[in-house]
Amino acid sequence: MPAKSIGQEYMKGLWAENPVFRQLLGMCPTLAVTNAVINGIAMGLATSFVLILSSLVVASIKKLIPNQVRIASYIVIIATFVTIADRFMAAFFPPISKALGPYVPLIVVNCIILGRQEAFASKNSVGRSLVDAMGMSTGFILALLLLSSIRELLGAGTFLGYQVLGEWFKPWIIMILPAGAFITLGILLGLALFIEMKTQRGRA
């Protein structure tokens, strides 16, 4: 792997290796919680917390963990941070915790987190892993924000709960249902691929 600058390490998470649009990881929360912008943001932030801290811990103890039990160790570490985030929110931000409900514990099974430990944090220095985790988090938050904005706007005519579209607009209920998530994600993925192909051709 050619050495990347710290800036490139961060930026790759935004587009070139965006966890949602390019790696297709973490599809479950992406599809499930993006029915409202506030849910998307809260989910993105909670996932970032877990991803960044897990990457830090895994990168610092990577040499101690035998290869055969690495996945089990990573999952225990990830689950610990998820539970901390869950309890912390329930204790200090009960309204947010209520709104997210079952989504927070589900961060444990988000593939982005385990994927980054396996693909990056277990092979790179602590500093680089931190930057990588931050880049991936930003990419994930942006993707959720994009998806949830489209779905909330078309599905409820609102943005962050505020009415944006006028009386004439009849909400497309399908957009806040799972089917709407698949449709939106499919179109966005196609679009991302299209842009990627166009820019590739331009470079060549």
Partner 1 sequence: MNLYTRMIVVLTVVGLISGACLSVVGLLTRERIELNRQKEIEEAIGTVVPGTKSYSAAVEEKDLTVYKAKGEQDNLIGYAVYARGTGFQDIITLMFGTDPDLDKINSLTILEQKETPGLGAKITDGQAFLQFWEDREINQGLTLRKPAVDTKEELASSEVNTITGATISSQKVLDIVNFSLEQVRSLKNQGKLEGED
**Residues within the interface to partner 1 (CB under 8 A):** 33, 35-36, 39, 64-66, 68-69, 72-73, 76-77, 79-80, 83-84, 87-88, 90-92, 94, 98, 101-102, 155-156, 173, 176-177
Other CB atoms within 10 Å distance of the CB of residue 141 = 17
CA–CA gap between residue 120 and residue 21 (Å, rounded): 18
CB of 87 to partner 1, least distance (A): 5
Output 19 or 155, the one with its CB closest to partner 1: 155
CA–CA gap between residue 194 and residue 32 (Å, rounded): 25
CB of 165 to partner 1, least distance (A): 15
Output 40 or 135, the one with its CB closest to partner 1: 40
Residues in Cβ contact with 184 at an 8 Å cutoff, skipping those fewer than 6 apart: 34, 147, 150, 151, 175
Q: Which amino acid is at 113?
A: I
Output 146 or 177, the one with its CB closest to partner 1: 177
Output 138 or 184, the one with its CB closest to partner 1: 184
CA–CA gap between residue 144 and residue 142 (Å, rounded): 6
CB of 45 to partner 1, least distance (A): 18
CA–CA gap between residue 47 and residue 41 (Å, rounded): 10
Tokens encoding 159: 């943005």
- DSSP element (H, E) containing 159: strand 158-159
Output 89 or 131, the one with its CB closest to partner 1: 89
CB of 166 to partner 1, least distance (A): 18
- Say how far residue 193 (Cα) sits from the centre of its chain: 19
Tokens encoding 186: 């499919």
CB of 177 to partner 1, least distance (A): 7
Place of tokens 């331009």: 202
